[in-house]
């Protein structure tokens, strides 16, 4: 699988990256054995970039991912985690994090936003402990939308110091919205941004961000290429999710139009969804979340095979016509 370096750093990432939110029991639980088998399948398929966060399952994703990679040569993979949410004891647990956080784990911990310098350092130290590692390759400031001044003024500078000291390889910001990422790129010296769900086959609103990143030598990691599920199946059902909620009927109609275009070119919707971000030179890799070995193997096949130019032209026309 192709490998690209992030920005001006030496951190290598595979064209397809492993998003570890499902290892934290996103929406529903999976077992430890299934989590391990999913990571093993990713390794066998050539994935060498793995992304996690404390938010994912209140630390469960980090623990599972660290355990699954513990026997792999450390120099053979890149791993990223995130800062901005400290995990602290829950003063009044309800029994499950599913309603509050979206993860099927006990809510014995609670997330407290903290984008201060001290909060960033505490968060990273705790992540390293859960991962069982002495370093991570990339650290992202996670979803700083409502704390952007502190993130730009304290969190990013703290991570840049760690980068300059050689403690981390690259520094980035990750978000679902384009605005915070644009400000982070223009006001700080980040190496990369992770944009979730905004540079996909369906949602191309991150176009201005890619332009700015290209001008400044910042790499883009395109996460959530399936828009949280809608584009993950050859024919989306009415109960599919879009941006972590029910899919609006108008959006479902648009996507089913893209299904027809894919069929005419003898491919399937999720293949186009995985490949779309990789068309852009600013995109170093696409990161998708996986909860089974079969999902990993399918995505790896799609990532390795491009669509014909005629297919892209028809898909682009269909997306533009539906706006």
Query: Active-site positions?
Result: 56
Q: How far apart are CA 143 and CA 193, in angstroms?
A: 11
The per-residue DSSP string of 145-175 comes to GGGHHHIIIIIHHHHHHHHHTTSSSEEEEEE
Start-to-end CA span in the chain (Å) = 34
What count of other Cβ atoms lies within 10 Å of the Cβ of residue 256?
12
Paired tokens of 299 = 């995505």
Q: How far apart are CA 165 and CA 135, in angstroms?
A: 12
Asked whether the beta carbons of 134 and 153 are under 8 A apart, the reply is no
Q: Tell me how long the chain is.
A: 323
Which H or E run includes 223? strand 219-223
Q: How far apart are CA 268 and CA 276, in angstroms?
A: 13
Bridge partners, 85 (sequence order): 113
User: Which residue in the block uniquely carries the two structure tokens 């309800």?
Assistant: 94
Using alpha carbons, select from 194, 191, 207 the residue that is nearest to residue 288.
Answer: 194
Using alpha carbons, select from 179, 199, 189 the residue that is nearest to residue 283.
Answer: 199
**317 phi and psi, to 5 degrees?**
-65, -40
What are the distances in angstroms from CA 313 to CA 162, 218, 234?
A: 44, 27, 19
């Amino acid at each position: 699988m192709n490998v690209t370096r992030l920005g001006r750093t030496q951190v290598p990432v595979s064209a397809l990256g492993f998003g570890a939110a499902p290892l934290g029991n996103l929406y529903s639980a999976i077992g430890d054995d299934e989590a391990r088998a999913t990571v093993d399948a990713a390794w066998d398929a050539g994935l060498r970039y793995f992304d996690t966060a404390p938010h994912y399952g209140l630390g469960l994703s980090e623990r599972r991912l660290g355990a699954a990679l513990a026997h792999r040569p450390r120099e053979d993979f890149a791993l990223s985690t995130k800062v901005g949410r400290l995990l602290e004891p829950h003063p009044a647990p309800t029994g499950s994090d599913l309603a509050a956080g979206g993860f099927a784990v006990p809510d014995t911990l609670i997330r407290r936003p903290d984008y201060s310098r001290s909060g960033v350092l505490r968060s990273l130290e705790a992540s390293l402990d859960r991962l069982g590692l002495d370093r991570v390759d990339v650290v992202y400031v996670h979803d700083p939308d409502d704390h952007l001044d502190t993130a730009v003024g304290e969190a990013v500078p703290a991570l840049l110091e760690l980068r300059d000291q050689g403690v981390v390889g690259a520094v980035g910001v990750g978000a679902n919205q384009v605005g915070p990422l644009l400000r982070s790129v223009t006001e700080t010296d980040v190496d990369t941004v992770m944009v979730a769900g905004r540079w996909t086959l369906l949602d191309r609103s991150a176009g201005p961000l890619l332009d700015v990143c290209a001008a400044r030598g910042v790499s883009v990691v395109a996460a959530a290429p399936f828009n949280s599920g809608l584009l993950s199946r050859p024919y989306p059902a009415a109960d599919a999710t879009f941006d972590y909620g029910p899919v609006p009927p108008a959006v479902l109609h648009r996507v089913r139009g893209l299904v027809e275009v894919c069929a005419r070119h003898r491919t399937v919707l999720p293949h186009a969804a995985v490949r779309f971000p990789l068309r852009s030179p600013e995109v170093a890799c696409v990161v998708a979340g996986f909860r089974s070995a079969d999902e990993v193997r399918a995505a790896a096949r799609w990532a390795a095979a491009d669509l014909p130019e005629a297919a892209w032209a028809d898909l682009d026309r269909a997306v533009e016509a539906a706006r």
